[in-house]
Amino acid sequence: MPQSEIISLTTKDNIKLHGNYYPGTSPRGILLIHMMPADRTSWIPFAGKLQQSRFHAFAIDLRGHGSSQGGPDGYRNFSDEQHQSSILDVECAAHWLLKKGIETFHLAGASIGANLSVQYASAHPESVSSLILLSPGLDYRGIKTEQMMGDLGR
């Protein structure tokens, strides 16, 4: 089991999030965003491999999932707008990880986490070095990626 530290954060809209931080020794970091109906624990094996490769890794529970506010399965009752608000979770976690002195920042997301990763990267192209996208969609709960993917190429 990789070594991790439980981190608690509060988003701009006052949602309490929890995540596991896997410290690394290089200036590379990766934020891990899970799919539905998963939580941060789905990333444990991958986070361990990243940590062995000296990456800092941070896996969070999105709002309504796992240990974060509204979890573990509050997301089942979310409207599309509430799911779209999860971008605030990604922004909060990215900000926290970048404050660790990360020079090369990456995002990995699965399903809705992939769409949120694209959304964050298109809004912050200067800070994101690469994306790992597992099963992104063109429109996942109103998080539409087609235009955002086009914006990434500019």
Over the stretch 121-136, which tens digit does the pLDDT of each residue have? 999 999 999 999 999 9
Cα dist from 135 to 86, 112, 139, whole Å: 18, 8, 12
pLDDT tens digits along 85-95: 999 999 999 99
Check whether 105 has a pLDDT greater than 90: yes
Q: What is the model's pLDDT at position 142? A: 87
Are the C-beta atoms of 118 and 148 separated by less than 8 Å? Answer: yes
One-character DSSP codes across 23-79: --SSSEEEEEE--TT--GGGGHHHHHHHHHTT-EEEEEPPTTBTTSTTTTBGGGG--
Q: What is the model's pLDDT at position 154? A: 61
Q: Which DSSP symbol is given to 3?
A: -
pLDDT tens digits along 18-33: 999 999 999 999 999 9
7-18 average pLDDT score:
98
Handedness of CA 32, 34, 39, 45 (dihedral sign): negative
pTM as predicted: 0.95
From the number of C-beta atoms within 10 Å of its C-beta (0-12, 13-18, 19+), residue 79 rates as: exposed
d(CA 87, CA 27): 24
Q: What is the model's pLDDT at position 153? A: 67
Between 146 and 11, the higher pLDDT residue: 11
